Structure 1
Amino acid sequence: QVTGNQLVLSFSDTGNLDADAGRKPESGAFTVLVNGVANAVTIVTIDGQAKTVTLKLSTAVTSGQTVTVAYADPTTGNDANAIQDIAGNDVASFAATAVTNNTPA
C-alpha cells in the first residue's frame, strides 16, 4: 500500500524479517512506477516484527494514481543486501505488482 511518499510492503511469511540496518537491500533493488513513470526510492526501512519493508519515494503519490513495485534480489544465493528472514533466506525477486493507493484526495 502507498500513502503519499511512503510505500509499505507487507510479508506473510511465518518468520520475522531481518531488520539489521547493515543488511538491508539497496534502494535501487526496487522499481516503483507511478502512472508508468519511475519514482525513485530514497530510503529503505525494515520492521522485522511487523514484517514490513517501507520505501520512501522521491515524489509523493497523489490520489488516484496507479502504482506498481518490483523487487530484484541482487544475487541468486542468500546474501546480506537483500530482504531476508531472520534465518538468512532471501525473499525472491518479484515482477511489477499492483500497489493499493491509500493517498487521500
Structure 2
Amino acid sequence: LIYTEASSLGLDAIHTAGATDFAVNSASGLAIRVNSLTVDATTKTVTLHLDRDVDHGEAVSVSYTKPAGDNVLQDAAGNDAANLTKQVVTNNSAADHTAPV
C-alpha cells in the first residue's frame, strides 16, 4: 500500500495496525492470509507479507478495517488511515518462466 499524504512526516511505523486488520482476497473470493506487515515511514508504504505468493496475473483486492484502540494505521501526526473495502490491487508479480523439475 502506498500513501500519498502531502505531509513530510510519513507514517507511524511504531504504533500501527496488526496483520489481522487487513484482508486480501483473490478474485474467486478465496482469502489470502496476511502473516505480518512492515511500515516504512519514509517511503509511506505498508507491505503486507502474505501466506502465499500472488500469481502473475491473479486479480486480488485488499481491505483494511481500523481496529478499536491505539494501534491503528496512521501518519506520524496521529491521523488515522481510513478503512479500505475491497480495493483492487495492481499486481506487479513477474511471470514464472522456471521449467518444472
Greater relative contact order (Cα < 8 A, sep 6+)? 1
Shift of 1:98: 0.3
Who wins on radius of gyration, i.e. which is larger?
2
Shift of 1:69: 0.2
Alignment of 1:17-96 (within 5 A): 17-20=11-14, 23-35=15-27, 36-75=29-68, 79-96=69-86
Shift of 1:24: 1.7
Structure 1 segments (4+ residues) deviating >6 Å: none
| Structure that is richer in strand per residue | 1
Identity of aligned residues (%): 39
Aligned AA (2:40): D
Q: Which runs of 5+ in 2 are unaligned?
A: 96-101
Residue 6 of structure 1 is matched in structure 2 by none
Q: Which runs of 5+ in 1 are unaligned?
A: 1-8
Q: Decide whether the 8 Å contact of 1:24 with 1:44 is kept in 2.
A: no
**TM norm structure 1:** 0.83
Instruction: Say which of 74, 88, 92 aligns to 1:98.
Output: 88
Q: Decide whether the 8 Å contact of 1:45 with 1:54 is kept in 2.
A: yes
Render the CA deviation track for 1:36-67: whole Å, top value 9, x for unaligned. 21001001110011000000000101111111
Shift of 1:94: 1.4
CA RMSD across the alignment: 1.0
**Secondary structure at 1:70 match in 2:** strand
